[in-house]
Amino acid sequence: MAARYDPREVVRLAREGKVTATKHVARWLANHDYDVKETLVEVLSSLESAGRYVKSCVLKNDETADVYLVELEEEWYLKFWVDEDQLVVDVWSCCWDGAVH
């Protein structure tokens, strides 16, 4: 199965700051001393160079999300979908792979 969203488009949107995240994601990042916006942009911007597509899945809001592992200093588990009406990347998971969140 192929990724639902074009990583180049996701990187472009992230670099333009067009990113939102669930409260759960923001709380996890903040609780681990990360700047939420900066970290989301960094991880999303690394999709093409350091990301490996894992799968797609259906979220509770019935949108299809892509799941990636992104290798930076840590390996990040990333789940997102692109709201094509508002042109924003909506992040539902962004944490170290294997971390309880």
Residue 53 belongs to a domain: yes
Residue 1 belongs to a domain: no
Pairwise CA distance, residues 79 & 96, whole Å: 12
Residue 19 belongs to a domain: yes
- Which residues of the chain carry a pLDDT beneath 50? none
Task: Residue count of the chain, please give it.
Answer: 101
Looking at residue 101, its pLDDT comes to 67
Looking at residue 93, its pLDDT comes to 96
Looking at residue 66, its pLDDT comes to 97
Cβ atoms within 10 Å of 47's Cβ, excluding its own: 24
Domain count, the chain: 1
Tokens 């074009």 correspond to: 6
Containing domain of residue 44, as a range? 7-96
Residue 54 belongs to a domain: yes
Residue 2 belongs to a domain: no
Q: What is the pTM of this model?
A: 0.93
Cβ atoms within 10 Å of 28's Cβ, excluding its own: 20
68: exposed, middle or buried (Cβ count in 10 Å: 0-12, 13-18, 19+): buried
CATH number at residue 61: 3.30.2310.40
Residue 67 belongs to a domain: yes
Looking at residue 90, its pLDDT comes to 97
